[in-house]
Structure 1
């Protein structure tokens, strides 16, 4: 059921995904081709906001902040998973893996590498501020436009 909280959470996480995506780009090797990287992450932000944060809104300020932290964390996990899977498929098409099991384990290795690349102070600050603002705005939307 569409609600104002779901819409607000989706918009907020899409914006957080946009900012985080643009912060990650300079950290990657120069030869990286990003293609639809930012748009895909924004789509994941919309989905995470709609399905993870939106239904959990309306429980108070502290729970709203926790909801924001959960939403942004889920966004990052989904983003790492999707981007790592895409990279694995790209490498698999170049016959880099011997069998399917090696390709599947590569998803986790690539995701861990990307996660380590993202462990910087600016991204951590964006994570926290984005989570705080997203959680509070989602709570506000739930209370205001019930």
Structure 2
């Protein structure tokens, strides 16, 4: 059921996804073709905000901060997962893998490489601050517009 908290959570995490995607792009090799990188991450932010943060609003300030941290963690988990699967499929189309099991294990290797690449202080600080702000805004929307 649509609520103001779900909408606010979706909007906040979509903005976070857009901002962090812009911070991640310079960290990748110059030859990287990003394609639909930003739009996919924005859709993931919308989904994470709507389904994860929005339904958990209305429980107080401490729960709101935890809700924001959970929402941003889920956004990053989904983002790294989807982008890793995308890269694995791209490499599979070039016949880099001998069998399905090797391709499926490559998703985790690629994901670990992505996490290692984006583990920088500026991204960590921006994720932490945006998580707190997104959680508080979602809580405010949940209490204000019932």
TM normalised by structure 2 equals 0.99
2:75 and 2:113 mapped to 1: Cα distance? 17
Give the drift of 1:139.
0.2
Any idea what the Cα deviations from partners look like across 1:37-64, whole Å, max 9, x if unmatched?
A: 0110000000000000000000000100
Structure 2 residue aligned with 1:126: 126
Which ranges in structure 1 are unaligned for 5 or more consecutive residues?
A: none
Corresponding residue number in structure 1 for 2:110: 110
Correspondences of 1:1-146 after superposition (within 5 Å)? 1-146=1-146
State the Cα deviation string for residues 82-132 of structure 1 (Å, max 9, x = none). 000000000000000000000000000000000000100010011101101
Moved over 6 A (4+): none
Q: Aligned equivalents of 1:45 and 1:123: distance in 2?
A: 16
In 2, distance between residues paired with 1:62 and 1:13?
Answer: 19
* Separation (CA, whole Å) in 2 of partners of 1:87 and 1:38: 15
Measured in 2, the distance between the counterparts of 1:99 and 1:85 equals: 15
Gaps (5+ residues) in structure 2?
A: none
Q: Could you say what secondary structure the match of 1:75 adopts?
A: helix
**TM-score, normalised with respect to structure 1:** 0.99
Q: d(CA) in 1 for partners of 2:118 and 2:60?
A: 31
Other structure's SS at 1:142 match:
helix
